[in-house]
Amino acid sequence: MDDARPAGIPAETSEGVPGGTAGSTPGSTLVTTWSLEQTGPDELRPAAVPGPGAGVRVELAQVPLPEFSRFLYCAVGGDWQWTDRLGWDRRRWEAYLARGVETWVAYRHGTPAGYVELDPQDDGVVEIAYFGLLPAFIGQGVGGHLLSVGLARAWDMAERQPRRPATRRVWVHTCSLDGPAALTNYRKRGMRVFETVTEEK
């Protein structure tokens, strides 16, 4: 599923089947999608900041660059069935990024380790459109910190984009095809599930 976000426990369908096919028709898979939100910056529960020896930093990609965004999308999403944007040409990437989308990139010892993409929407809403790590950096304590930074930057986005209203809601959705830590990571950072949908894919 293209909205997979590798980022605790094995994700479960609403029937309690860990990412499985129980109850589905032959050739299909039951996929559960959870939508989560925060409605105030005080709801954020940041993860521990990696120590100086970890060599981790998170920076905003200040020059919107389609080639870099495509690299991150493919490098992070290759193992998680991210496919929707594989057919995007440069013009479509440019148009998307020009909407004020922010790409916050985690580096470890100078190497890109993962990213969180913030999509500014109407009425002070920000969606975490994509979030995840490159496979080599999963399980190294980077993901919780990266998500914490991403959420904090979603809440203060109006400070960098003065024409935007103050953020009043941050939301994301994740599914049972995602990395097994995704749902738990979102919950640990203080996000709450407001909708759960299970359907055959």
- Mean pLDDT, residues 138-144 taken together: 94
Confidence of residue 25 (pLDDT cuts 50, 70, 90): low
What's the pLDDT tens digit per position in 152-193?
999 999 999 999 999 999 999 998 888 778 899 999 999 999
* Distance from the first to the final alpha carbon of the chain: 9
Six-digit token string for 8 = 């605790």
Q: At the top level of CATH, which class does the domain 30-200 belong to?
A: alpha beta
Task: Give tens-digit pLDDT for 53-73.
Answer: 999 999 999 999 999 999 999
Residue spans per domain, the chain: 30-200
Mean of the per-residue pLDDT values for the chain?
A: 87
Asked if residue 25 lies in contact with residue 200, where contact means CB atoms within 8 angstroms, the answer is: yes
- The reported pLDDT for the residue numbered 2 is 41
Q: Which amino acid is at 175?
A: C
Confidence of residue 80 (pLDDT cuts 50, 70, 90): confident
> In this structure, how many other beta carbons lie within 10 angstroms of the beta carbon of residue 166?
11
Is pLDDT above 90 for 15?
no
Contact between residue 101 and residue 94 where contact means Cβ atoms under 8 Å apart = no
Full-model pTM = 0.85
What integer pLDDT is reported at residue 19 of this predicted model? 35
Flag whether pLDDT at 5 surpasses 60.
no
Band (27; pLDDT cuts 50, 70, 90)? low
